[in-house]
Structure 1
Amino acid sequence: MDGQTEVGAYPTLLLKGDHYAMGLQHGHQVRALRPQIERALAARWCEAQPGPSEARFEALYQETRALMAELDRPGLELMRGQADALGLDLEMLLRCNLAGVLLDSRSIRGHVGDEGCTTWAATGPATAGGRPILVKNRDSSVEHLRLQCVAHAMPAVGYRYLYVSSAGSPGVFCAGLNEAGLAVADTHVTSTDVGPGLPDHSLMMHVLEKHDDVRSAVDYLRSVPKMGRHNLLLVDVRGSLAVFEMGHRTSGLRGAHDGVLVNTNHFVSPEMEASFVDVSAPEEQGNSQRRFEQAARELEAAFGAIDAGLAQRLMAGHASPQSALCCHPGQATGYRTISTSIFLPAEGRMLFCHGLPCQGRWDLLAV
């Protein structure tokens, strides 16, 4: 499963109108992938059935469901449209997409393998030409590679945006860029600070639809209840950079150092660092920190010359098994890099590689 031949094409979706209509269009346009979506949901459903000692998850689900009904009607309507188009049960779809909290809890208790992603952004004197750039390697299962898609969204109200996601998944499930030049990318962090709140895919959708700069996006993120479990890396066309480290009770904010900001799968801010739990297999402990350090070193060495070409080479690198940014399937987890996204806010474009960046083809897409 490691060669270029198994990657195949990815769907490009066109979504417009209100959120229910956008969900319907998403579902209809990925209808050919329904068997794979059903298998992925069934596997998630089986994994995430709460046991007798996990009544807390049911309470968290019900509280989060109520919060979404109050604060995230667009996100729920989008999911309702997806469910209707694909012939799926809305509650099952919602439970499966919130089940990561339960799986994280089991990971913390059992120290089973975890997935990861590497993101970074640069601007100003760090880049060639001073233009901002945001980059993400998405590391996940081969299952998500087969479901990976790119969507052009034109909501009835709000900014147009381009984003990377998975067929059948709600909101912005990976990263995106809007027409105002604001880009955002997430990374998962296994955390003890989790509770009822909006999930990150909803938060990123609202950020891209309603906000045009990092300050406004951060103010929004601070103002709403959050589930936690993620970091969001943000960059805008003016060159502002931030990582918003999300907990349920507490959050942290990191800014750029010399025009560069790196983010992987752990918390760094003083407010959040104690909430991180490394659930990697013993031989992969510290992987997030090693990737962080590798990216930071290479970006520091390239100061003043960081551009899309440098990003392509960096994200395809295999420095060592512990610090490789391009991750090939591991024995412990099976996770691998399934795409690289390079967002260029000043140009309103994304360079996208579906599959391993050391092997794949690069496509240029505009918002």
Structure 2
Amino acid sequence: MTQTIEPFPLIELTGGPEARGRLYGRMAKARVHKSLSHYGTQLAGQGRDAGAVRAMARDFVPRIEAFEPDFVAEMRGIAEGADVAFEDIVLINCRTEVLQLAKRAEALAAIRKEPDGCTGAILLPEATADGSVIHGQNWDWKSECAETGVVLRIRREDGPDVLTFVEAGGLARCGLNAAGIAITANYLESDRDYTQEGIPLSLLRRQALNQEQVALAFRSLYSTPKSGSNNLMLSHASGYGVDIECAPDESFLVQAEGGILVHSNHWQSPVALAKLKDMGLVSTPDSAYRDRRVRDALTARRGKLTMDDLRAAFFDDWQSPWSVCRPPRMNLGGNLSATVAMILMKPAEGLMEIAPLPALNRNFTRYTLAAEGAAVRAA
């Protein structure tokens, strides 16, 4: 049985980084506070008080500032607008890295209990009915985050406009820009994780969306040092798509086959598998078939694929609740997990469609880079 769930609100931001941040903080204040309350409860359960966590976040700031000073200015603005501590906004943007680098052994155990899942796909022109690029993902994470997500439409003065879905207070998660670049990300884990300090993954995604050129977006994803592993899927409206499997210190490419590229939460590159140990399948065993389920459904209609075909593939419920489209269920660490959002994008049109908790709710909201507001439609 399906139900209607509140769509993610659309927030339009203008001005310089700090001004955008203040506007963002004011307009998303309730959701920012809800997000912080959720993570605060989690941290308290791990025996960490707010002061200690804020101190960890402060230590992280110089690295972010050296990478992109505007990100720090934007986060300061968000904190001011939402009436929260600056360090709390840093934590939202670096939630994984701040905790894990503070105490590696304990942190690694924590993330294996709560992996950030996802199944992503890119459809290139040779596979689609109208010759366009279609890019999307199911974001699997804590089911409570269906109440904290927002969509940002960022009118930039120094680069292409950006449309991004993100947890309130964050700078980016997945999205597209006015230059035709789109990005999604999937959880990966390896034996190299959290042995070095790197740039937070959410900020890498925002940096890619800030770019006019695919080469510069690719460079920021491929070569920037990271703390943990991650899979990054990059596409461009002109017909380009690539998957970048990232270890903290090295990246590996996976290319589309027949115009179709699908990735879940295990390493695919033969070169990567020859050089590192895949640690993620223990906590996300359903990844072993999720990518194959989606790929097979898409391959059956290669050359005729539309956004509705990708939508149908992402709704796959074989082996539910351990399925491509995950209803709220307890994960192996005893935490409530779900497909928080299904995101579908057409970069050439600046179009994004999102359904919160799609296993329960089949209503999508359409967001665009154009001036009109969000529009809700039934799948």
Match of 2:187 in 1: 188
CA, structure 1 residues 262+249, in 2 after alignment: closer, same or farther (shift >3 Å)?
A: same
Q: Which amino acid aligns with 1:70?
A: A
How far off its partner does 1:44 sit?
4.3
Q: Which residue of structure 1 aligns with residue 219 of structure 2?
A: 219
The answer for the alignment partner of 1:27 in structure 2 is: 25
Name the aligned partner's letter for residue 287 of structure 1.
D
SS of residue paired to 1:327:
coil
Amino acid at match of 1:225: P
Secondary structure in structure 2 of the residue aligned to 1:65: helix
1:42 maps to 40
- 1:365 equivalent in structure 2: 367
Deviation of residue 153 (structure 1)? 0.6
Aligned to 1:176: 175
* Residue 296 of structure 2 corresponds to residue 294 of structure 1: no
Secondary structure, aligned partner of 2:213: coil
Q: CA deviation at 1:24?
A: 0.9
Question: In the superposition, relative to structure 1, how do residues 43 and 65 fare at CA in structure 2: closer, same or farther (>3 Å)?
Answer: same
Structure 1 position 145 matched with structure 2 position 146: yes
Q: Does 1:70 align with 2:66?
A: yes
Report how many aligned residue pairs link the two structures. Answer: 355
* Separation in 2, partners of 1:100, 1:208: 21
Distance 1:109-1:12 versus aligned 2 partners, 3 A rule: closer
Structure 1 SS opposite 2:163 = strand
- Deviation of 1:234 after TM superposition, in Å, equals 0.8
Instruction: Quote how far apart the aligned CAs of 1:49 are.
Output: 5.9
- The letter of the residue matching 2:305 is I
Please say which of residues 224-233 and 138-147 is displaced more in the overlay: 224-233
Q: CA–CA distance in 1 between the matches of 2:176 and 2:359? A: 20
- 1:192-341 residue pairs with structure 2 within 5 A? 192-194=192-194, 195-213=196-214, 215-273=215-273, 274-278=276-280, 280=282, 285-321=284-320, 324-332=323-331, 333-341=335-343
**CA distance 1:336–1:208, shift in 2 (3 Å):** same
Provide closer, same or farther for how the CA distance between residues 97 and 48 of structure 1 changes in structure 2, counting only shifts above 3 A. Answer: farther
1:225 is displaced (CA, Å) by 2.6
Given that 2:78 and 2:89 are in contact with CA atoms closer than 8 Å, whether structure 1 keeps it comes out as no
1:113/1:363 CA distance change after superposition, 3 Å: closer
Letter in 2 for 1:242: V
1:82 maps to 78
Which whole-Å deviations, capped at 9, do the CAs of 1:65-116 have from their partners, x for residues lacking one? 3221211212111111111112222224324543414458546447524231
Query: Residue in 1 aligned with 2:375?
Result: none
Q: Secondary structure at the match of 1:328?
A: coil
Q: Deviations over 1:213-248 (max 9, x none)?
A: 2x3321233343333332110110111111112222
C-alpha distance in structure 2 between counterparts of 1:286 and 1:109, whole Å? 17
The answer as to whether partners of 1:64 and 1:196 remain within 8 angstroms in 2 is no
Task: State how 1:86-165 maps to structure 2 within 5 Å.
Answer: 86-95=82-91, 97-101=93-97, 102=99, 105-106=105-106, 108-109=108-109, 111-165=112-166
**Contact between 1:132 and 1:345, CA under 8 Å: does it hold in 2?**
yes
- The whole-number CA distance in structure 1 between the counterparts of 2:354 and 2:303 is 23
TM-score (norm 1): 0.87
Which residue is 2:167 aligned to?
Answer: 166
Give the C-alpha shift of residue 289 in structure 1.
Answer: 2.0
Partner deviation per Cα, 1:280-301 (whole Å, 9 max, x = no partner): 55xxx52112111111111211
1:189 is displaced (CA, Å) by 1.9
Give 1:267 deviation, angstroms.
2.2
Q: Which moved more, 1:314-323 or 1:255-264?
A: 314-323
Instruction: Find the residue that maps to 2:155 and give its secondary structure.
Output: strand
CA-to-partner distance for each residue in 1:40-82, whole Å, 9 max, x for gaps? 241244356679xxx9x99997774322121121211111111
How many angstroms apart in 2 are the aligned matches of 1:161 and 1:208? 7
Q: Is the 8 A contact 2:32 2:148 kept in 1?
A: no
What is the letter of the counterpart of residue 328 of structure 1?
Answer: P
Give, as a single letter, the amino acid of the residue that structure 1 aligns with 2:346. Answer: L
RMSD: 2.8
Structure 1 pair 296–9 and aligned structure 2 pair: CA distance change class (3 A): closer
When normalised by structure 2's length, the TM-score is 0.84
Distance 1:135 1:203 in 2: 18
Worse overlay, 338-347 or 39-48: 39-48
Secondary structure of 1:210's aligned partner:
coil
Q: 5+ unaligned residues in a row in structure 1: which ranges?
A: none
Whether contact under 8 Å (2:327, 2:360) holds in the other structure is no
Identity over the aligned pairs, expressed in percent?
A: 23
CA contact (8 A) 1:316 1:358 kept: no
Distance 1:30 1:272, change over 3 A: same
SS in structure 1 opposite 2:74? helix
Offset, 1:150: 0.9
1:348–1:245 Cα change, 3 Å: same
Matched, 1:344 2:346: yes
Give the 3-state SS of the residue equivalent to 1:335 in structure 2: strand
CA distance in 1 between counterparts of 2:25 and 2:254 reads: 37
